[in-house]
């Protein structure tokens, strides 16, 4: 269906090619998962399939890419639209119309299908993706998960033989991600559509994949069996980590397969050691953030209604919940980004009201890294950004730069912030905010676009900050990150706190938010591979 | 009499844009503050009744820009004067003596009511034209209008989409970037801050517009399956020539000093060229419509409602009716009744057009 013959891509001004000599054949009706670290060339590989690279992006492509017999050198992306549909990372920026139903019909209109066919396929597609209740909704009012489903539905409706998706579940909560993957599974299995997708959150997708392609620094492996690929890959989900630790073979990819093999491990852990003990982090009194009967409305809709929350000094607290549950709004309200309708917010040991302070004073108490970290960045180079940050926060020269070096795995200071990968941008934004050394650090969905390595560094850094007394409050969908770092998990639904308790208790008892290791080893409540490894080492 | 319950639907976007252009033409021919405020009022009324609930209403932003323009003009006139000699002195500012070679320029000195009124009326005219554009934007989003641009005009179309989504996006992004600046301890006020904001705002908005263009491309916009290169070039050439003609003609119409006689023929010629390019393009257009907007009598009424004030005020200004260009004396200017009536006609689509679709929040 899709053939790459000695394909290399070199962007202008780039020091190294993004893809090197890729030869690959993807057969029809397969769900192919593209796995690789951030910046390894995954997105480039995906975008060559419909010709956006190089027709739209610029750069030089050598070799040949053919899709369904059509050579992308001779056919522009718009001519390939009947064959390939591409869902971008951020669907909201790609919507061409304003309403769900129009968006679904758009592709078919440009293809010139007759109106009865369009009418019929719009209905079918809305049903297939469970969008019928949303058909008359405005696109900008939908939650992230709904937008993602609309974007996939809109492309699918046009009837392409190949669907290409770049990080389709990164921004979604676990349940919404399951919904998206279930609809993909259905179109692959029932309708024979070929699906190629790249995703960092392997724990969500790897068991859905028929084939896996590994990408590293522009080198692309051949089509691999998923279990075999997970043995070789440098990035892997926790369940594979567990399997590597214990030496299961063949490597289980789904929770179900792993549980079948896990009985012996459970016995070993259960009899030889007592229940896992949480690392006790020394936390101070619960007055770092005090939110009292908070009411916030956005766009005329009450998002938070009478919310109470108190966070202990020096703790790491994770806010979880569905897309649109009010997590970002809560963080924004604490950082005085949104006006309050009612209630109070007090931050820091001094009980500062962030809404009553000027921005300059506020940043000493509370720092927020927003969901789109690029909004914080405006200089031409990373180095200039760091200098500006020192100025903004009145920090000693070199503070931001030092922080950045500690946080990141080495970022070239001469690069433009917009040319950084998503993970590096987050690290830069974090360094900027931390140069104000705030008492309370808020992070809004920090793991979007991060590979496991970057996520691990982030986790270590947050743990280190908490140990130094900084209070961390982060909103995330990433249960594995929460399992790594959180002392406490608060689950929001419709602007209210529905669950609040120690991380281990909350995560282990929630079917949606339990991490993979917990699911495999239930009823024992281990959260991470590292915990299990530690326990096994003690036994031995 | 039993009234027919019309189905809620959006009017054809071309109808609203023609209506808006008509009203803008009318506004551009007068400096009578009563008439101009009436134009703004009509825009507010119609937008309030009939704007598309699926999009953000851009009219307030346009009105805000208009208000800034008026304030700026008045302040600058007070400081620098504008060559209008008046008798009613409002206040006297300390004046800065300038050397002889700058004889035409003054800073400070006496500020007369006449010169202030002249500046305010003139700026108000621009604000009213902006309000008309904002109203057209709110009533029919440019993206919907674009659906009627033939695929053969692909390049023009992409440029138009990028351009049209750029401005509204800019406002949203400016708000976001400013909010993000407070996270770095800056409250986003002051000139230096503004200058710093410009780059990230432009970059964000530009990136988003490019993303949209890429998305349109990969979703098949501009597929011209059955057309040949020559016909596509012919259509694009005709469209460009037509566009230039329309712009030149509009300029002639809007700027009364250029002469309305020169404006109208060029405008008609340009419109004909543009129209024929649409026909050439559309005849080979493979696209089809899902719930395409129909052109019914309400669309015709809307266009006529916009054309009436345009025609009346163009005639009025050419014939020099009293009150179209009011005096700058401190008195309520004469208001030509027929112009008022013509402008009120422009408000009728608020009730005569169908109610817009309902969109769940």
CATH number of the domain within which A363 lies: 3.40.50.300
Residue A210 lies in a domain: yes
Residue A283 lies in a domain: no
More confident residue, B304 or B292: B304
Do both B46 and B76 map to the same domain?
yes
Answer yes or no: do B200 and A88 touch at CB < 8 A: no
Answer yes or no: do A158 and B220 touch at CB < 8 A: yes
Do both A177 and A230 map to the same domain?
yes
Do both B237 and B207 map to the same domain?
no
Do both B12 and B134 map to the same domain?
yes
Flag whether residue A301 sits within 8 Å of chain B, measured between CB atoms.
Answer: yes
Position B5 pLDDT exceeds 50: no
- Pick A56's closest partner by Cβ from B207, B214, B288: B214
Residue A341 lies in a domain: yes
pLDDT (0 to 100) of residue A317: 93
Question: Of B200, B223, B246, which one is at a domain's C-terminal end?
Answer: B223
Answer yes or no: do B220 and A359 touch at CB < 8 A: no
End-to-end CA distance of chain A: 51
Question: Of B184, B199, B223, which one is at a domain's C-terminal end?
Answer: B223
Q: From the CA of B108, how many Å to the nearest CA of chain A?
A: 36
Flag whether residue A433 sits within 8 Å of chain B, measured between CB atoms.
Answer: yes
- Pick B220's closest partner by Cβ from A102, A111, A137: A111
Answer yes or no: do A378 and B290 touch at CB < 8 A: no
- Which residues lie closer than 8 Å to B265 by C-beta, 6 or more apart? B249
Please give the structure tokens belonging to residue A171.
Answer: 């921004």
- Pick A359's closest partner by Cβ from B186, B216, B360: B186
Do both A247 and A151 map to the same domain?
no
Do both A87 and A114 map to the same domain?
yes
Do both A185 and A249 map to the same domain?
no
Do both B50 and B118 map to the same domain?
yes
Q: What is the mean pLDDT of residues B263-280?
A: 71
Residue A154 lies in a domain: yes
Do both B7 and B113 map to the same domain?
yes
Residue A284 lies in a domain: no
Do both B304 and B209 map to the same domain?
no
Answer yes or no: do B183 and A335 touch at CB < 8 A: yes
Domain of residue B280, residue span? 227-291
Task: For A201, list phi and psi in degrees, rounded to 5.
Answer: -85, 80
Do both A26 and A133 map to the same domain?
yes
Q: Which residues, listed in sequence order, are joined to residue A67 by a DSSP beta bridge? A: A2, A70
DSSP element (H, E) containing B59: helix B59-80
Flag whether residue A378 sits within 8 Å of chain B, measured between CB atoms.
Answer: yes
Say if the ipTM goes beyond 0.90. Answer: no
* Residue A456 neighbours by CB distance under 10 Å: 14
Do both A14 and A71 map to the same domain?
yes
Predicted confidence (pLDDT) per residue in B48-84, tens digit: 988 888 777 888 888 988 999 999 989 888 888 777 7
Chain B residues inside the 8 Å CB shell of A89 = none
Position A509 pLDDT exceeds 80: yes
Question: Of A207, A236, A265, which one is at a domain's C-terminal end?
Answer: A236
How many domains does chain B divide into?
Answer: 3
Chain B residues inside the 8 Å CB shell of A141 = 359-361
Do both A473 and A327 map to the same domain?
yes
Domain of residue A259, residue span? 237-276+524-540
Residue A282 lies in a domain: no
More confident residue, A301 or B188: A301
Do both B133 and B166 map to the same domain?
no
Do both A203 and A317 map to the same domain?
no
Do both B17 and B137 map to the same domain?
yes
pLDDT (0 to 100) of residue A25: 93
Do both B24 and B119 map to the same domain?
yes
Do both A100 and A197 map to the same domain?
yes
Question: Of B273, B291, B309, which one is at a domain's C-terminal end?
Answer: B291
Instruction: Tell me the CA distances in angstroms from A50 to A212, B220, B252, one per residue in order.
Output: 20, 11, 46
- Pick B288's closest partner by Cβ from A82, A114, A337: A114
Do both A34 and A125 map to the same domain?
yes
Do both A227 and A257 map to the same domain?
no
pLDDT (0 to 100) of residue A217: 86
Do both B167 and B284 map to the same domain?
no
Predicted confidence (pLDDT) per residue in A20-63, tens digit: 999 999 999 999 999 988 778 888 899 899 888 888 888 889 99
Answer yes or no: do A359 and B53 touch at CB < 8 A: no
- The model's pTM is 0.79
Predicted confidence (pLDDT) per residue in B308-356, tens digit: 999 999 888 888 888 888 877 777 788 889 999 999 999 999 988 888 8
Place of tokens 């020099």: B320
Do both B3 and B130 map to the same domain?
yes
Is residue A482 within 8 A of residue A508, CB to CB? The reply is no
Predicted confidence (pLDDT) per residue in A107-139, tens digit: 888 787 888 888 999 999 998 888 898 888 888
Query: Which residues 122-141 on chain A approach chain B with CB closer than 8 angstroms?
Result: 122, 136-141
pLDDT (0 to 100) of residue B239: 72
Q: What's the pLDDT band for B40 if we cut at 50, 70, 90?
A: very high
Is residue A16 within 8 A of residue A22, CB to CB? The reply is no
Please give the structure tokens belonging to residue A408.
Answer: 């990141």
End-to-end CA distance of chain B: 35
Do both A531 and A434 map to the same domain?
no
pLDDT (0 to 100) of residue B213: 78
How many domains does chain A divide into?
Answer: 3
Q: How far apart are CA B205 and CA B199, in angstroms?
A: 10
Residue A281 lies in a domain: no
Do both B72 and B189 map to the same domain?
no
Sign of the torsion formed by the C-alpha atoms of B188, B194, B195 and B200: positive
Is residue B218 within 8 A of residue A78, CB to CB? The reply is yes
């Amino acid at each position: 269906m899709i053939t790459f013959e000695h394909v290399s891509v070199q962007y202008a001004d780039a020091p190294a090619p993004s893809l090197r000599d890729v030869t690959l054949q993807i057969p029809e009706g397969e769900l192919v998962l593209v796995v690789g670290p951030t910046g390894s060339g995954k997105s480039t590989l995906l975008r060559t399939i419909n010709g956006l690279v190089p027709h739209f992006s610029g750069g030089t492509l050598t070799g040949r890419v053919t899709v369904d017999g059509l050579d992308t050198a001779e056919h522009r992306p718009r001519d390939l639209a009947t064959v390939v549909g591409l869902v971008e990372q951020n669907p909201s920026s790609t919507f061409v119309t304003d309403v769900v139903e129009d968006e679904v019909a758009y592709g078919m209109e440009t293809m010139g299908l007759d109106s009865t066919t369009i009418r019929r396929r719009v209905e079918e597609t809305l049903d297939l993706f469970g969008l019928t209740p949303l058909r008359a909704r405005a696109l900008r009012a939908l939650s992230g998960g709904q937008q993602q489903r609309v974007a996939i539905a809109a492309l699918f409706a046009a009837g392409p033989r190949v669907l290409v998706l770049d990080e389709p579940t990164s921004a979604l909560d676990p349940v919404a991600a399951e919904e998206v993957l279930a609809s993909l599974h259905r179109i692959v299995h029932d309708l024979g559509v070929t699906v190629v997708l790249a995703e960092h959150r392997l724990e969500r997708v790897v068991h859905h994949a028929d084939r896996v392609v590994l990408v590293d620094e522009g080198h692309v492996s051949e089509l691999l069996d998923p279990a075999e690929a997970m043995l070789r890959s440098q990035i892997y989900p926790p369940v594979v980590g567990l399997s590597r630790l214990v030496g299961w073979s063949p490597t289980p990819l789904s929770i179900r397969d792993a549980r079948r093999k896990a009985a012996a491990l459970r016995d070993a852990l259960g009899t030889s050691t007592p229940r896992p003990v949480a690392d006790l982090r020394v936390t101070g009194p619960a007055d770092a953030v005090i939110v009292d009967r908070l009411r916030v409305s956005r766009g005329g809709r009450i998002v938070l209604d009478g919310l109470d929350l108190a966070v202990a000094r020096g703790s790491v607290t994770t806010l979880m919940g569905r897309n649109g549950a009010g997590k970002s709004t809560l963080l924004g309200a604490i950082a005085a980004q949104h006006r309050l309708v009612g209630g109070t917010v007090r931050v820091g040991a001094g009980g500062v009201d962030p809404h009553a302070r000027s921005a300059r004073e506020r940043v000493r108490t509370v720092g927020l890294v927003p969901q789109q970290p690029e909004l914080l960045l405006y200089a031409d180079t990373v180095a200039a950004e760091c200098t500006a940050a020192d100025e903004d926060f009145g920090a000693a020269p070199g503070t931001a730069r030092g922080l950045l070096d500690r946080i990141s795995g080495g970022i070239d200071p001469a690069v433009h912030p917009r040319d950084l990968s998503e993970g590096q941008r987050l690290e830069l934004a974090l360094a900027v905010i931390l140069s104000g050394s705030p008492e309370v650090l808020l992070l809004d969905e920090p793991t979007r676009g991060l590979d496991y390595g970057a996520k691990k560094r982030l986790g270590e850094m947050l743990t280190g900050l908490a140990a130094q007394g900084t209070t961390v409050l982060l909103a995330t969908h990433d249960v594995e990150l929460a399992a790594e770092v959180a002392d406490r998990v608060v689950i929001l639904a419709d602007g209210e706190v529905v669950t609040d308790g120690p991380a281990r208790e909350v995560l282990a008892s929630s079917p949606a938010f339990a991490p993979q290791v917990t699911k495999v080893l239930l009823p024992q409540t281990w959260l991470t591979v590292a915990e299990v490894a530690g326990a096994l080492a003690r036994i031995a | 009499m039993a009234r027919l319950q019309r189905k809620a639907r959006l009017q054809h976007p071309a109808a609203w844009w023609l209506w808006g252009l008509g009203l803008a033409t009318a506004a551009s021919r007068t400096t009578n503050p009563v008439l101009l405020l009436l134009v703004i009022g009509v825009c507010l009324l119609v937008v309030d009744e009939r704007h598309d609930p699926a999009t953000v209403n851009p009219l307030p932003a346009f009105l805000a820009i208009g208000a800034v323009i008026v304030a700026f003009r008045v302040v600058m006139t007070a400081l620098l004067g504008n060559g209008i000699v008046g008798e009613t002195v409002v206040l006297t500012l300390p004046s800065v003596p300038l050397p002889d070679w700058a004889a035409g320029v003054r800073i400070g000195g006496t500020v007369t009511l006449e010169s202030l009124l002249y500046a305010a009326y003139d700026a108000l005219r621009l604000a009213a034209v902006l309000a008309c554009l904002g109203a057209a934007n709110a009533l029919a989003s440019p993206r919907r209008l674009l659906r009627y641009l033939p695929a053969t005009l692909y390049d023009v179309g992409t440029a138009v989409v990028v351009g049209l989504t750029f401005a509204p996006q800019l406002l949203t992004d400016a708000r976001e970037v400013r909010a993000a600046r407070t996270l770095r301890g800056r409250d986003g006020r002051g000139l230096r801050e503004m200058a710093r904001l410009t780059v990230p705002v432009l970059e964000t908005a530009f990136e988003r517009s490019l993303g949209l263009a890429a998305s349109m491309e990969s979703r098949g916009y501009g597929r011209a399956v059955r057309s040949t290169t020559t016909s596509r070039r012919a259509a694009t050439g005709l469209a460009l020539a037509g566009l230039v003609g329309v712009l030149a003609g509009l300029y002639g119409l809007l700027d009364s000093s250029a002469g309305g006689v020169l404006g109208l023929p060029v405008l008609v010629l340009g419109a004909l060229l543009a129209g024929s390019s649409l026909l050439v393009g559309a005849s080979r257009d493979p696209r089809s419509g899902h719930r395409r907007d129909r052109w019914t009598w309400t669309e015709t009424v809307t266009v006529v409602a916009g054309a009436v004030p345009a025609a009346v005020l163009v005639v009025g200004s050419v014939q020099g009716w009293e009150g179209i260009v009011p005096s700058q004396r401190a008195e309520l200017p004469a208001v030509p009744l027929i112009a008022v009536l013509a402008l009120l006609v422009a408000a009728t689509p608020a009730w005569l057009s169908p109610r817009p679709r309902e969109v769940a929040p």
